Amino acid sequence: MPLNEHTDQQRTILVGAGAFARELIEWSLDGALEDGRAFTAFLDSSPAALDGFGYRLDYLGAIDDFIPREGDRLVMAIGDPAAKARLGGLLKARGARFARLVHPSATVARSALLGEGVVICPQAVVSSHARVGDLVAINALSGVGHDVVLGACSTLSCHVDLTGRVEVGEGCFFGSGARVLPKVAIGAGARIGAGATVMRNVPANAVMYAMPAKKL
């Protein structure tokens, strides 16, 4: 179905329309959305956010102002964990339902548990008995090891490697290529820099970088 052929009952709405949203539109064309849906609309502070990119989606206004309708499905297209938590909470309080987007080239173990609105990009792997919280985004080529617990609203950039039994609190951010050794616990709100290798537990809200990772 072309991107803008839909009924009002089937609105599938991007929350945010930046670069990550454009990636999610591409993955949706590969069949990544639940129930074979296609994106029909977007929310953003700018109605022109997708101009010039060749997508024909309806503009529904700013995220903060949006009142969902029954039957709407939203997909969080924002990477920043704090923004996801705030806006996701606000929209859910208004009755919003978030759809999952899982690219067909990703591998998700049958025993893994995925929360509401989880986004999994091409060639990512979620291994056995991992638990992935609501509104988590796992970008391309990242790995979530066996028994990992990944807190709600966390974001993994590309090529992140969470090894077995890692525990991640809510709202953590992992830069490109970050890796975490087995059984390490990452406190809520931590930010792990690109290329960091985390060998020891990380306190909440810490910013870590380098190898072995140290506090910024």
Amino acid letter, 125 = V
Answer positive or negative: Cα dihedral of 192, 196, 197, 203. Answer: negative
Amino acid letter, 44 = D
CB distance 195 to 177 below 8 Å: yes
Which residue's CB is nearer to ligand COA, number 3 or number 24? 24
* Min dist. Cβ of residue 64 to ligand COA (A): 24
* Min dist. Cβ of residue 142 to ligand COA (A): 11
Catalytic residue, from 6, 103, 129, 146: name it: 146
* Min dist. Cβ of residue 72 to ligand COA (A): 27
Which residue's CB is nearer to ligand COA, number 67 or number 210? 210
Amino acid letter, 32 = A
Which residue's CB is nearer to ligand COA, number 40 or number 142? 142
Q: What dihedral angle (degrees, nearest 10) is formed by the CA atoms of 147, 173, 102, 133?
A: 50
Cβ neighbors of 203 (< 8 A, separation 6 or more) are 187, 190
State the residues that interact with ligand COA by CB under 6 A. 157, 175-176, 191, 193-196, 207, 209-210, 216
Query: For this structure, is 146 an active site residue?
Result: yes
Residues with a known catalytic role: 146
